[in-house]
Chain A
């Protein structure tokens, strides 16, 4: 198994997706602003899409299914980004901040 034929191996893509997922989780836990958390969630969605595409290419009998699912993930991610960013703008207008530490009105 040469290092140059890694792209013919399902596990390569699974490891890459796991790495991206871990980066997304790390960013989600450590970022202090809402926009930073949104960026990290996009990383997590990209990792999920890579998994779908990898299984679609290597194991699934119908290779259109995973591609269609990835396209649906893209549409949902676009909707999520639009809603999330409009919420961020609304929060910023009310609080003059998008830091998660400042948004404590619902804390008992």
Chain B
């Protein structure tokens, strides 16, 4: 049930298209709420829980963007690997709850909010003013075509990224291992 491109009239709520739109709205709300929890929570373990919720919403967004493969990989890699790794680091490093206002001063919250909202407003205004032209698709972007592109057009990048991952894993082991004996 990939969302089709050619909906012009408003669908009723209890048709297939209307329910798809409703699910999209719910998933967008899940993404935004998860993001708010992730960036505003005082305790880190709550922030990581919010990040997991946010990434599940992002996976649903990817599904609505015609890419079930990337949606599944988002859940597998981000939720299943990265978030769990960060949760382990929180447990290992056990950061005590941060003091409320350090040398950064009480202004860091409002100033950060102002600059972040300026960035957001700028991006939204830029998206509003720009007219994007769309081009006819030359293929459908299925998993099979992604695999073919991976091993033909992008084969060099594909190999390089595996080397990068290998070096990253070795480097992480070396860094985390250093000074352990003392």
Contact = CB atoms under 8 A, between A and B. Distances in A.
Tell me whether chain A's interface is mostly helix, strand or loop, or mixed.
helix
B56 to A, nearest CB: 11
Given A13-B61, A83-B172, A39 B48 contact: yes
Tell me whether chain B's interface is mostly helix, strand or loop, or mixed.
helix
Interface string A20-46: 111111110111110110111011001
Given A18-B127, A92-B92, A86 B86 contact: no
A59 B175 contact: no
Interface in A82-108: 82-83, 85-90, 92-94, 97-99, 101
Most interface-central of A13, A36, A98 (chain B CB within 10 A):
A36
Contact of B127 (A3, A15, A89): A15
Interface of B: 3, 5, 7, 10-11, 13, 17-18, 20-22, 24-25, 28, 31-32, 35-36, 38-40, 44, 47-48, 51, 54-55, 58, 61-62, 64-67, 69-70, 73-74, 77-78, 81-82, 85-86, 88-90, 92-93, 95-96, 98-99, 102-104, 108-109, 111-113, 115-117, 119-120, 123-124, 127-128, 132-141, 145-146, 149-150, 154, 157, 161, 164-165, 168-169, 171-173, 175-176, 178-180
